Amino acid sequence: MAAAKRRIDILVTEKEFEILEKYCEENGQTKTAVVRELIRKLEAHTAFGRLADH
């Protein structure tokens, strides 16, 4: 069974948007995929990730 999905809207500067858009174009990924990947990496580097394992 697939995990439930939640929607998130974020505000970014024009420069931040351009950085994300360029990265996505160069790597053939969607903005959604890149943001999801970054969020997953946060879990590995935060106390939240360590707490979630308990």
SS3 3: coil
pLDDT at 29: 98
For residue 37, being part of any structural domain is answered with yes
Residue 3 domain flag? no
Is 33 in contact with 27 (CB distance < 8 Å)?
A: no
Number of structural domains found in the chain: 1
| Residue pLDDT tens, the chain, 54 long | 788 999 999 999 999 999 999 999 999 999 999 999 999 998 888 766 565 665
Output the DSSP codes for 14-43.
HHHHHHHHHHHHHHT--HHHHHHHHHHHHH
The reported pLDDT for the residue numbered 44 is 81
> Is 52 within 8 Å of 40 (Cβ atoms)?
no
3-state SS class at 12: coil
pLDDT reported for residue 17: 98
Asked whether residue 39 is domain-assigned, the answer is yes
Q: The whole model's pTM is what?
A: 0.74
